[in-house]
Every structure is written in structure tokens, then in C-alpha cells.
Amino acid sequence: MEILALILFLCIFILILAGFPVAFTLGGISVLFGYFALGPEFFNFLPSRIMGVMGNVVLLAVPLFIYMGIMLEKSGLAENLLESMAMLFGKVKGGLAISVVIVGAMLAASTGIVGATVITMGLISLPTMLKRNYSIELSTGIIASSGTLGQIIPPSVVLVLLGSVMNVSVGELFKAALLPGLLLVLLYVVYVLIYARLYPHKAPAIPAEEIARFRQGNYAGKLVKAFVLPFLLILAVLGSIFGGWATPTEAAAVGAMGATLLTIIQGRFNIKVLKEVMIGTTHLTTMVFVILLGATTFALVFRGLGGDRYLVNLIQTSNLEPHHFLLIVMIVVFVAGFFIDFIEIVFIIVPVVLPIFTAMKVDLIWIGILLALNLQTSFLTPPFGFSLFYLKGVAPPKVTTAHLYRGIVPFVFIQLVFLLIVALFPEVLHWL
């Protein structure tokens, strides 16, 4: 039975790599294995498991955060924010790239949706950076990597899903992720400053006369309008969670309403926009939950076959230390990120390794943040880095796939180094 559980896992992994639909592969293959190995009566347990997923209030945060992200993309706030930030840092070499990092972080803290952030930043900032003679590699690398900050900076859909799968508090994950997310932003900024110092012609400053033109008129009003509205939304969402006034699900509802109000204030709200946002939200939410139902079936059959007990016993009898096992899991997740989506990794790999971490009495909040940081790299690593796909879709024709691949190399390296730092110094997670 235990060997069958491992064969089930390998079959699903191979079929997903071969291009079969994830949700139906997870559910369909699991049902076949369960039916012939455990009998049809075993599936009497499945309806209660599915209803447990459907009744999970925490998962309501997923469609609400997705709605908030797509609505903010339509609001036009990102354009004002980027323009104002660029002029603030305009005198500094690499200032435009720094502004992209900071705006990407603010959008991440406002939306948590990587696709929305990368597409918005690609449409707004990439043509501007290329026009100002920025290196194509630096421009694409900074946009793609800044867009992935939504994976770790709360409110993050990844953290919501990890919290649900690992059965830990999403609010605690949000608190633990805040400092690592901000430190990662700082590392990006430091890299840009060093790059601009070494290659000033590839990251030039904005001309003084252009900055002077922007500062004419109601300069203070422009800054207030650009910065205050996004900050209010971030404060409403994260402040209500960290202050203990709202659960992540309630805060997501506040964020969805706040994003709608901001779009109305910006004069961008109409029935067409609302319809587009709701269709986009429905598509993404349906994808997540259909995969989740397939993953629930897989988890039930895998445990019914004794796969989790077998792996726990295997690790315990091999006398593998927790940090050695953690290293193996991180390598597997990193390599898997080259080929499959983060949602599949969360729903396939995490439930398999979770019982082992639990048996080792490891801090699951720490494991959750390490997994989120690792999954963040999956958006950047070719051949299936979704952040690269999003950016290529909106990039000018002269930006090639080779430019994208070369551009993200230093940022993947930064993230891996930072992942190592968090693994060695877990106390950075608990400052809140």
C-alpha cells in the first residue's frame, strides 16, 4: 500500500509535467488508485472532506483579494504612484528602477496578485525605462522580480493557501512575512544602487529640467493623491489584521470594498470595468478551487494508502536531522518551481511533507515563510516562470526572451541568498 502511495505521487507529477490539466489529473488518478486499492466504500469519506474545504471561511479571502488586485489594476493608481515616485528618486542614478521596486512593493501590499502587478508595471514602466536608455536586462529583471513581491508581502494569496493547507493561522503568517518582505525590497534597492554605480550609462538619472516641470503647480497635491490613497488601503487591510480587529477574510472584504471606492474616486469605475473585474476574479478563483478539490482527493487517497505514515517512518528510521530534511524539501520545491505552478506545489508537495515537519516539532510558521519565499522564485525561473510570461506578453518587440532570462538571474540569486538568511535566522519572523 505504501509503495502504491509513492507510485500515485510519481504518476501525478509525471502527468502534470507532460501537460495534462492539473485539477483533473490530481482528482482522476487519485480516484483510480483509491478505487482499485481501497475499494469504492473508501470514498464515503470524500464528501465530508470536500465540504470541509468549501466551508473553510479562511479561503473566502482568496476571491476577495483577487478581486481587490484586479480592481486596483483598473483604477490607474499605479500610474500616478510610479510617476510621482520616479520624480522623487529622479536625481539618483538608477532612481527609476528604485521607484519600480518601491511601487511594486506597495502594489504587492495592496493586491497580493503577481499577474496584475507585473502586467501593470510592464505596461507603465518598461517603455519609460527603455526610452531613458536603461539596460533591457535591468529593466525586465526589476519589473518581473518586483511583481513577485506579492507572493511574500501580505496580503498574499500564497500565504492564505499555505495557511489553509498547513492548518496554521493566516494572520500569524502575514505578521511573520512582513519583515522578510521589506528586507527583500531593501536588497533589491541595494542591488540597483550598486548596478547604477558600476554601469551609470545603463541606469541614468532623470534630467533635472523634467523633474522641475513635474514640480510645477500643485506638487504637494500630486504627491498626496499618489501616496495617500494606496497607503490608506494598505492600512485598512494590514492594520485591521495586525491590530486584531479583523480576520484575514474580513480584512479582504474591506480591501475589496476599498479598491472599488478608490476606482470610483479615480473616475475609472463603470459597468464595463466591474464586469471585467468580476469575470477575471471568477476565472482565477475557479482555477484555484478546482485544483484544491483535486488536491483534497489526492490527500485523502495518499493518506488512505499510508503514504504519510511511510514517509514519516522513513525519515525517522534514517535519523535525518530536521535541517537536513528541510534542505531536501527546499531543493525539491525550488526545482519543481521550474516546471509547475505554485498552486500545484502548495496542494501536492506541502501536504506530503507536512506530517514529517509536524512529527519533527518544527515551527510551521517558519516553514510556511520559507516555502513562500521559495515559491516566489518559481515565478522567475525559466522555462515556466509566470512572471516572465506576463511581462513578455506586454513588452515591446525588441525585448526578447533571452533578455528576460538574463535579467532575472541576479534577482533569483538575491532571493536564494535571502532564503538562506531566513533559514539560518528564524527570529526575524517574530518581531511583530
> Helix or strand or coil: residue 127?
helix
Name which residue leads in pLDDT, 430 or 143.
Answer: 143
Q: Is the pLDDT of residue 225 over 80?
A: no
The predicted pLDDT at position 371 comes to 93
Alpha helices in 132-216 (DSSP H): 136-147, 157-166, 170-198, 208-214
pLDDT in tens, 89-111: 778 888 888 888 888 888 777 66
pLDDT in tens, 280-325: 889 888 887 887 888 788 888 888 888 777 777 777 777 778 888 8
Q: Is the pLDDT of residue 370 over 90?
A: yes
- How many degrees, rounded to 5, is the angle at CA 4 between CA 296 and CA 322? 70
Element (DSSP H or E) covering residue 25: helix 22-38
Instruction: Tell me the C-alpha distance between 389 and 102, whole Å.
Output: 22
**DSSP string across 64-111:** HHHHHHHHHHHHTHHHHHHHHHHHHSTTSTTHHHHHHHHHHHHHHHHT
Q: What does the block give as the cell for 80?
A: 500616478
Element (DSSP H or E) covering residue 281: helix 271-304
Contacts of 96 (CB under 8 A, 6+ apart): 86, 89, 90, 125, 128, 129, 132, 134, 203, 206
Q: What is the dihedral of CA 113, 115, 116, 117, to 10 degrees?
A: 80
Q: Which of 354, 355, 416 is nearest to 380 (CA)?
A: 416
* Mean pLDDT of the region 320-333: 87
Q: Is the pLDDT of residue 229 over 90?
A: no
The predicted pLDDT at position 284 comes to 80
Confidence band, pLDDT 50/70/90 cuts, at residue 418: very high
pLDDT in tens, 146-182: 888 878 888 788 888 899 889 898 888 988 998 898 9
Instruction: Tell me the C-alpha distance between 61 and 213, whole Å.
Output: 43
Percent of the chain with pLDDT over 70: 96
Alpha helices in 215-270 (DSSP H): 219-234, 240-242, 248-265
The predicted pLDDT at position 288 comes to 77
pLDDT in tens, 35-48: 888 888 888 888 88
Q: Is the pLDDT of residue 350 over 80?
A: yes
Q: How far is CA 386 from the centre of its chain?
A: 11
Q: Over the chain, what is the mean pLDDT? A: 83
Instruction: Tell me the C-alpha distance between 203 and 193, whole Å.
Output: 9
The predicted pLDDT at position 384 comes to 64
The predicted pLDDT at position 107 comes to 76
Q: Which of 117, 103, 193, 156 is nearest to 373 (CA)?
A: 156
Instruction: Tell me the C-alpha distance between 290 and 26, whole Å.
Output: 10
Q: Is the pLDDT of residue 432 over 60?
A: no
